[in-house]
Structure 1
Amino acid sequence: MTIPLRQRFGQRFKQLRLATGLSQEAFADHAAVARSYLSRIERGCANPSLDAVEGLAKALCVDPQALFEIVDPPSFCDASEEVPYAADGSCFHRGLASPRDGTFRVGEKGSELRLVSFEEALSHLKKMPVAKWRRPNDSGNWGLVSAVRWGTMEAVTKPERCRIC
Structure 2
Amino acid sequence: MDIQKNFGLRIKELRAVKGLSQEALSHKAELDRTYITSVENGKRNVSIQAIQKIVKGLDVSFSEFFTSNLFDA
What is the TM-score when the length of structure 2 is the normalising length? 0.83
* Distance in 1 between residues matched to 2:32 and 2:46, nearest whole Å: 13
CA displacement, residues 58-86 of structure 1 (integer Å, 9 cap, x when unaligned)? 111111233333336xxxxxxxxxxxxxx
Greater relative contact order (Cα 8 A, min sep 6): structure 1 or 2?
2
Determine the structure 1 residue equivalent to 2:57: 59
Aligned length: 70
Please tell me whether residue 16 in structure 1 is matched to residue 14 in structure 2: yes
Find the residue that maps to 1:29 and give its secondary structure: helix
Query: 1:25: Cα distance to partner?
Result: 1.0
* Distance in 2 between residues matched to 1:31 and 1:54, nearest whole Å: 9
After TM superposition, what 4+ stretches of structure 1 lie above 4 angstroms from structure 2? none
Instruction: State how 1:36-115 maps to structure 2 within 5 Å.
Output: 36-71=34-69
Write 1 or 2 for the structure with the bigger share of strand. 1
Query: 1:4: Cα distance to partner?
Result: 0.3
Identity across aligned pairs (percent)? 34
Find the residue that maps to 1:33 and give its secondary structure: coil
Greater CA radius of gyration, 1 or 2? Answer: 1
Please tell me whether residue 27 in structure 1 is matched to residue 25 in structure 2: yes
Write 1 or 2 for the structure with the bigger share of helix. 2
What is the TM-score when the length of structure 1 is the normalising length? 0.39
Q: RMSD between aligned alpha carbons?
A: 1.5
* Distance in 1 between residues matched to 2:67 and 2:43, nearest whole Å: 19
Query: 1:35: Cα distance to partner?
Result: 0.5
Gaps of 5+ in 2: none
CA displacement, residues 108-154 of structure 1 (integer Å, 9 cap, x when unaligned)? xxxxxxxxxxxxxxxxxxxxxxxxxxxxxxxxxxxxxxxxxxxxxxx
* Distance in 1 between residues matched to 2:38 and 2:63, nearest whole Å: 20
Gaps of 5+ in 1: 73-165
Check conservation: 2:26, 2:36, Cα contact below 8 A: yes
